[in-house]
Amino acid sequence: MERRDRYLSDFEAKKWIIEIGRRMYAKNFVAANDGNISVRTGPNAVWATPTGVSKGFMTPDMLVKLDLSGKVLSGKNKPSSEIKMHLRVYKENPEVRAVVHAHPVVATSYAIAGISLERALSSEAVVLLGRVPVAPYATPGTEEVPDSIAPYCRDYNAVLLANHGALTWGRDPLEAYFRMESLEHYALMSLYTGEVLKKVNELSCSQVSNLLEIREKMGIRGGGTPACRPDESPVPAAAGAEAPSAGGVRTDAPQTGAVRTDAPQAGVVRTDAPRSDAAQTEAARAEAEKRAVIGEIIAKVTEEVLRRLS
C-alpha cells in the first residue's frame, strides 16, 4: 500500500474491495453471501460491498458509495444492513480508512464461546493485534451492533462479535484485511496450545514491553497490552550459604563421632536408588505412546482445518 495519510481514489478503493473479497472467500473466512468490506475515500465518502452478494464473485459495478450517515451516493445495489457497523468505526476512529467483517471459523468459535483473545502467545500477535475483546451480542442489522463495538474502536485493532463473527480495521485496506488473517491465525494458535497440546508458554512481561515499543515505532496506536507471564525474580542466596571466612568453622561439616543420618542403615532399602532397566523402558514406552496420541490429534485437527480452508 502507499502512503496512509491520504484517501484512496474511487478506482483504488473498488479494486481493493474486490481483491479482499476474493481472498476472504478463498480462505473460507466467509460462506455464501456473508461478510462485508468498506473503504473510506474522503471525509464523507465510503465505498462498500452490497447486500446479497458472494464476496468471492464481486465486480466493481456491484459496489455502493455512501456518505457517513448511510445515504447512498452512487451504485445500483443496496448496501449491507451491517454497514452501520463500518460507519460507526469511521466516526469513532478518524485514522481508520478500511473495515473488514468476516466469519473465520476459529475466531468466530471463540466469539461464540465468549472467550476474548488476550494472551501473549507470539510476537506477531502482540505487535499486529494486541488484545482482541468480545463485544456483547447484538442483533445483526440493528443499531445495537454499532453501539456494541463503539467502545473498542479507538483502543483496539480488532473485536470479536459475540455469536456472530469478527471485525477488523486499519489505516488502509490491506492492513484491515491482514488483521483479519492475523486474528484467525492467533485464534488457531490459541486453540492448538490451549486445547490440543494443553501447554502454553506465554511471553514474559518484559518481552511484551519490548514488543509494545516496536508496535509504537510502527505507528500502531491501538491493541492494548496482552496478558503476560511475570518476570522471574532472582532467587536470593539462602542464609548461611556463604563460603566460610578464613579460619571459620564449617557448621555443616560432620562432627567427630556424629552419626550420618542420611547414611543407609542395615537392612533398609534405598528408595532413591536408580530405577531398573525395566522401569526405565516402561516409562519411555508410556512417553512414546503419549507423544503418538498428541501427534495423531494434531494431525486430525490440522487435516480438518486445511480441508475447511481449501
Quick check: 42 pLDDT over 70?
yes
Mean pLDDT of the chain: 85
Quick check: 181 pLDDT over 70?
yes
Who contacts 135 (Cβ-Cβ below 8 Å, separation ≥6)?
Answer: 148, 149, 152, 159, 160, 161, 162
pLDDT score for 281: 80
* Of 181, 129, 120, 188, the residue nearest 159 (C-alpha): 129
Of 60-74, 88-102, 265-279, the poorest mean pLDDT is in: 265-279
222 near 179, Cβ under 8 Å? no
Quick check: 245 pLDDT over 50?
no
The CA distance from 57 to 172, in Å, is: 22
Domains of the chain as residue ranges with CATH = 10-119+132-177 (3.40.225.10)
Q: Structure pTM?
A: 0.75
**Is the alpha carbon torsion for 135, 139, 140, 145 positive or negative?**
negative
Helix (H, G, I), strand (E, B) or coil at 38: strand
Of 47-61, 185-199, 282-296, the poorest mean pLDDT is in: 282-296
Helix (H, G, I), strand (E, B) or coil at 6: coil
> Residue 133, Cβ neighbours under 10 Å: how many?
16
